[in-house]
Amino acid sequence: MIKSLKFLKPYKWGVFIVFFFVALRAFLDLLLPLILGLLVNEGIGLGENAISPDVAKIWIYAGLMLAATLVSIGITIISGYMESKISAGFAKDLRKAVYQKIESFSLQEIDHFTTSSLITRSTNDIQQLQGVVNMLLRMIILAPFLAIGAITLSIMQSPSLSLLLVAAIVALLVMIIIIFSITMPRFQLVQKLVDRLNLVTRENLTGLRVVRAYNTQEFQAKRIDDASKESMKLNIFVNRIMGMMWPIMGLIMGLTSVAIVYFGSTMFIGIDGFDPGTMMALMQYSMRAIMAFMFMSFIFIMIPRASISAKRIMEVLEMEISIKDPLSPKLLPSTIKGEVSFESVTFKYPNADAPVLYDISFTAEAGKTTAFIGSTGSGKSTLINLIPRFYERTSGTIKIDGIDIMDLNQSDLHRLLGYVPQKGILFAGTIKDNILFGDNQDNQELLEDAATIAQAKEFILEKTEKYDFMVAQGGSNVSGGQRQRLSIARAIAKKPPIYIFDDSFSALDYKTDQKLRKLLDEKVTATKLIVAQRINTIRYADQIIVLDQGKIVGKGRHEDLMLTCSVYQEIASSQLSKEEL
């Protein structure tokens, strides 16, 4: 919790001013019972020596009480505005830091936390912290100041009757301890259940088509219902226990006031200067002291809950990143050819029993096409994901133009790559925004050239808004093939020296695939690394690398592999006709 509060540092002067205003408000609040006592004794004339009412003093004391109240209201408004502004700024800075940290995560860290948990941590948990910071700014000075001040002043008024207040506070503390011991262990479980509910909901929403296709709506609805009910039962239990605090505190407050009136009127009136004004002041202080302890109890309730959220947030911020930039990065040369070479590269997933890739060595020559093919699970996509350092190789060396990619800043490395993932991902916005995503320039010629090469121009021009057509989040309002072509256009518009196509032609029909690859060869002179399942997609590549169970079992052109590689022959015979073979 304390570590997360370092994000309040930019607002330290604002916090100091808020604390000053809150302390002033507490002082004014403690002043009111004293003035009330004087008004009763000296103004109304009910003191130890009863006198006739003094109208002038009544107006003076009433005016003082009104002035103190108005000043207190003004301070409350100003400090409330500053509290909200500081807590909102704190949450904004914390959310920004969490998002930037998540952006630096490799796929390994993402897998460690899970996407649903990261969403909960960056939304619900930060919201919890924001609420606590807002409350702490208001109560951390006000509640102790009121409690200590009210107890001190009540003792000054009547040490004997103040024992009733002490007894009430002890009873209050016993109740708070009992309630805390029951509810605190369950607060962490509440956040875990929110994670689980987010996970189940996200799975159902993203896989809605599959759920409908397999007619499992009732089963999936039951999963969500079970997760919701478990969360609901726990929240109801916790809230019921916490809800008991208010009536018990109200009862303690009422009994304390009744006891003060009873014992004060029957035993102390007229003794040692104790009079009605003193008794009224004592009642006011007892209520303020109990209210202050009520406020502090809420602080003690919220802080453990917030500390759980803070711990979850700090886990993200303090997570050791497995893939880092070098301390002394190499600068990229002015011209990049785009040669990619693997030298004895091995990769094993964390906690895996065996490597996924074994001793991979090859060179993808600059300006030429190198393709990767193999059975499912042979390591094609894993190999490709090592180049942008989405995962870090376990051993060996990966170089671009002779420079080890680990010697480059990740931003410089990614600037060299045009990456098209296996699943085409689009962002909410226009087609134009999505294609120029990596360029960030309003370049109409570049936009149209990229769309033409990617075979996307035809379906774009069919739309009424053309390039200004709004793509829904995730590209849900375009077909799979259109989504894939727009993803390819986005990479082409970036004009990098190296292109990575991770099975990016799988949703294209044969005719579109042929046209796209022809234009790629003619108009794009960069190095192209293509992962494919279909022989027809890669048969004219300058170099084909065949993978089987994480090892290279064949390397060469299509014609050579048909003569020398049995794995490639099996793949080809399953896809091509006898005439094509």
Kindly state the helix (H) or strand (E) to which residue 363 belongs, with its residue range.
Answer: strand 357-364
Kindly state the helix (H) or strand (E) to which residue 312 belongs, with its residue range.
Answer: helix 276-317
Q: What is the CATH number of the domain that holds 109?
A: 1.20.1560.10
Domain boundary among 317, 350, 377: 317
So what's the pLDDT on residue 381? 85
> Residue 322 carries which DSSP code?
S
If phi > 0 it is left, if psi is from -120 to 50 it is alpha, else beta; for residue 136 that is: alpha
Kindly state the helix (H) or strand (E) to which residue 556 belongs, with its residue range.
Answer: strand 551-556
Which residues are within 8 A (CB) of 277 and not within 5 positions of it... i.e. 6 or more apart?
36, 37, 38, 39, 40, 41, 42, 46, 47
Rounded Cα–Cα distance for residues 241 and 453 (Å): 65
Residue 226: C-alpha distances to residues 187, 196, 218, 325 (Å):
19, 11, 12, 44
Beta bridge partners of residue 86, listed in sequence order: none
The count of structural domains within the chain is 2
Kindly state the helix (H) or strand (E) to which residue 374 belongs, with its residue range.
Answer: strand 369-374
> Residue 506 carries which DSSP code?
T
Q: Are 520 and 512 in contact (CB under 8 A)?
A: no
In a domain, 327, yes or no: no
In a domain, 326, yes or no: no
Rounded Cα–Cα distance for residues 539 and 559 (Å): 9
Residues 286 and 379 in one domain: no
Q: Are 248 and 179 in contact (CB under 8 A)?
A: no
CA angle, residues 38, 42, 46, in degrees to nearest 5: 100
Q: Are 129 and 88 in contact (CB under 8 A)?
A: no
Residues 558 and 457 in one domain: yes
Tokens of 535: 């022989």
Q: Are 40 and 280 in contact (CB under 8 A)?
A: yes
So what's the pLDDT on residue 441? 66
Residues 475 and 556 in one domain: yes
Tokens of 522: 């003619």
Beta bridge partners of residue 343, listed in sequence order: 397
In a domain, 441, yes or no: yes
In a domain, 335, yes or no: no
pLDDT per residue rounded down to tens, the chain (581 residues): 677 778 888 888 988 888 888 888 888 888 888 887 777 777 676 555 556 677 788 888 888 889 888 998 998 899 889 888 988 888 898 888 888 888 888 777 787 777 777 888 888 788 888 888 888 888 888 888 888 888 888 777 777 777 777 888 888 888 878 877 777 777 667 767 776 777 777 777 777 777 777 787 777 778 778 778 877 877 788 777 777 777 887 788 778 878 777 776 666 555 555 566 677 777 777 778 877 877 777 777 777 777 777 888 888 888 888 788 888 888 888 888 888 999 989 998 877 788 888 888 999 888 888 989 888 888 888 888 889 888 888 889 999 988 888 888 888 888 888 888 878 788 888 888 888 886 556 778 888 888 888 888 888 888 888 888 888 877 778 787 888 888 888 888 888 899 998 888 777 777 887 888 888 878 888 888 988 888 877 888 889 998 888 888 888 888 888 888 888 888 888 877 666 65
Residues 149 and 9 in one domain: yes
In a domain, 533, yes or no: yes
Which among 372, 439, 360 is positioned nearest to 396, based on CA atoms?
Answer: 360
In a domain, 48, yes or no: yes
Residues 143 and 237 in one domain: yes
Sheet (strand 498-502) strand order: 417-420, 498-502, 527-531, 369-374, 543-548, 551-556
Q: Are 418 and 438 in contact (CB under 8 A)?
A: yes
Tens of pLDDT, residue by residue over 368-383, are 889 898 888 888 888 8
Q: Are 83 and 134 in contact (CB under 8 A)?
A: yes
Residues 304 and 432 in one domain: no
Residues 372 and 283 in one domain: no
* Backbone dihedral angles phi then psi of residue 430, each to the nearest 5 degrees: -80, 165
Rounded Cα–Cα distance for residues 152 and 149 (Å): 5
User: What global pTM score does this model have?
Assistant: 0.69
User: Residues 89, 95, 100, 105: what is their CA dihedral angle, to the nearest 10 degrees?
Assistant: 160
Residues 430 and 313 in one domain: no
Residues 312 and 344 in one domain: no
So what's the pLDDT on residue 397? 92
So what's the pLDDT on residue 374? 84
So what's the pLDDT on residue 277? 67
Neighbours of 250 (CB within 10 A): 12
Kindly state the helix (H) or strand (E) to which residue 440 belongs, with its residue range.
Answer: none
Tokens of 17: 């001013």
In a domain, 195, yes or no: yes
Rounded Cα–Cα distance for residues 536 and 373 (Å): 11
> Residue 246 carries which DSSP code?
H
Q: Is the dihedral of CA 418, 423, 429, 432 positive or negative?
A: positive
Kindly state the helix (H) or strand (E) to which residue 175 belongs, with its residue range.
Answer: helix 162-206
Q: What is the CATH number of the domain that holds 536?
A: 3.40.50.300
Beta bridge partners of residue 420, listed in sequence order: 501
| Beta-sheet pairing, 551-556 with 543-548 | antiparallel
Residues 440 and 566 in one domain: yes
Angle between helices 444-453 and 510-523 (to 10 degrees): 130
So what's the pLDDT on residue 37? 75
Q: Are 497 and 526 in contact (CB under 8 A)?
A: yes
In a domain, 77, yes or no: yes
Q: Are 408 and 331 in contact (CB under 8 A)?
A: no
Residues 425 and 557 in one domain: yes
Which among 419, 393, 320 is positioned nearest to 109, based on CA atoms?
Answer: 320
| Beta-sheet pairing, 470-471 with 498-502 | unpaired
Kindly state the helix (H) or strand (E) to which residue 16 belongs, with its residue range.
Answer: helix 12-38
Kindly state the helix (H) or strand (E) to which residue 401 belongs, with its residue range.
Answer: none
Domain ranges, residue 250: 4-317
Residues 346 and 282 in one domain: no
Rounded Cα–Cα distance for residues 220 and 203 (Å): 9
